[in-house]
């Protein structure tokens, strides 16, 4: 397990008679983007929730950085560095991008939030926060309130926050959703660099993004992984083409 950041084994989850997750095993290795694709209702989001800890599986295990986190809740997994999907609600919309990242730096440093006093002059917060904005390509937008950032910029800000909180792997559920072609292109380029900071398990319907980014792809259909492999292997897999890619491939 040393070369595996995240290791999911035989996860199962039923909703009544529906097998939403039917014995899924999947690994995430250092430096990689592992894409999880499949038709609507295949169980991708349900699987991501079980990995992040917000849905309890009926059986199976999740190991993160060698530790069995199966019984831990969302917050405990996040504290260990399992970065969750995009959550707009995690941003303070009226605060600048810089201030939002500073709050994350502050929380990681373990000091209590200081809403009063000269926080913005505290270099132990501003410097690491600015460095994080530079890494995520948002430095020029540091003073802009989160609410005024574009959709794509907010996602970059959320990643800057996740990195400031010490995320060591990311679970992204449809990050391209709601983005125009330019935004998708920019986010694709950004995720391409992010994989070197922390590997990514990526649920995404945008096949251009998936084929451009994925080191490996797993295909989920009716709660089961029907194929797993490189982009070329998946594109040329007859079962995958039949079940999911269809004529679009």
Ligand X SMILES: Nc1ncnc2c1ncn2[C@@H]1O[C@H](COP(=O)(O)OP(=O)(O)OP(=O)(O)O)[C@@H](O)[C@H]1O
Residue 20 interacting with ligand X (CB under 6 A):
yes
Residue 7 interacting with ligand X (CB under 6 A):
no
Angle (CA) 228-53-178 rounded to 5° is 65
**Shortest Cβ distance from residue 37 to ligand X (Å)?**
9
Among the listed ranges 44-52, 100-108, 133-141, 183-191, the one in contact with ligand X (CB under 6 A) is 44-52
- Give the one residue of 7, 22, 32, 38 binding ligand X; rule: CB under 6 A: 38
**Shortest Cβ distance from residue 54 to ligand X (Å)?**
11
Instruction: Look up residue 16 and give its two tokens.
Output: 């009544």
Classify each residue of 46-68 as buried b or exposed e, where b means 16 or more C-beta atoms within 10 Å of its C-beta: bbbbbbbbebebeebebbbbeee
Residue 41 or 246: the one with the smaller Cβ distance to ligand X is 41
Among the listed ranges 34-42, 99-107, 115-123, 153-161, the one in contact with ligand X (CB under 6 A) is 34-42
How many other C-beta atoms are found inside a 10 Å radius of the C-beta of residue 146? 22
Residue 113 interacting with ligand X (CB under 6 A):
no
The number of angstroms, rounded, from the C-alpha of 82 to the middle of its chain's C-alpha atoms is 9
Among the listed ranges 39-47, 110-118, 148-156, 187-195, the one in contact with ligand X (CB under 6 A) is 39-47
**In a 3-state reduction of DSSP, which class is residue 177?**
coil
């Amino acid at each position: 397990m040393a070369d595996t950041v995240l290791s999911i084994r035989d996860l199962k989850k039923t909703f009544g008679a529906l097998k939403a997750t039917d014995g899924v095993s999947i690994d995430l290795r250092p430096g990689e983007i592992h894409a999880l694709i499949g038709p609507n209702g295949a169980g991708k989001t349900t699987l991501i929730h079980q990995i992040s800890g917000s849905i309890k599986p009926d059986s199976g295990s999740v190991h993160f950085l060698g530790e069995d986190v199966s019984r831990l809740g969302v917050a405990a997994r996040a504290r260990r560095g399992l970065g969750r999907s995009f959550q707009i609600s995690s941003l303070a919309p009226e605060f600048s991008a810089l201030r939002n990242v500073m709050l994350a730096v502050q929380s990681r440093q373990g000091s209590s939030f200081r809403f009063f006093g000269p926080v913005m002059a505290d270099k132990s917060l501003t410097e690491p926060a600015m460095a994080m904005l530079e890494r995520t390509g948002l430095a020029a937008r540091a003073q802009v309130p989160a609410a005024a950032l574009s959709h794509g910029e907010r996602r970059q800000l959320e990643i800057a926050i996740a990195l400031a909180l010490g995320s060591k792997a990311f679970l992204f559920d449809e990050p391209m959703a709601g983005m125009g072609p330019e935004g998708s292109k920019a986010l694709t380029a950004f995720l391409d660099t992010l994989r070197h900071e922390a590997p990514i398990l990526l649920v995404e319907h945008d096949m251009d993004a998936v084929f451009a980014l994925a080191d490996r792809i797993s295909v989920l259909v009716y709660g089961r992984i029907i194929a797993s492999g490189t982009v070329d292997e998946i594109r040329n897999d007859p079962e995958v083409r039949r079940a999911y890619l269809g004529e679009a491939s």
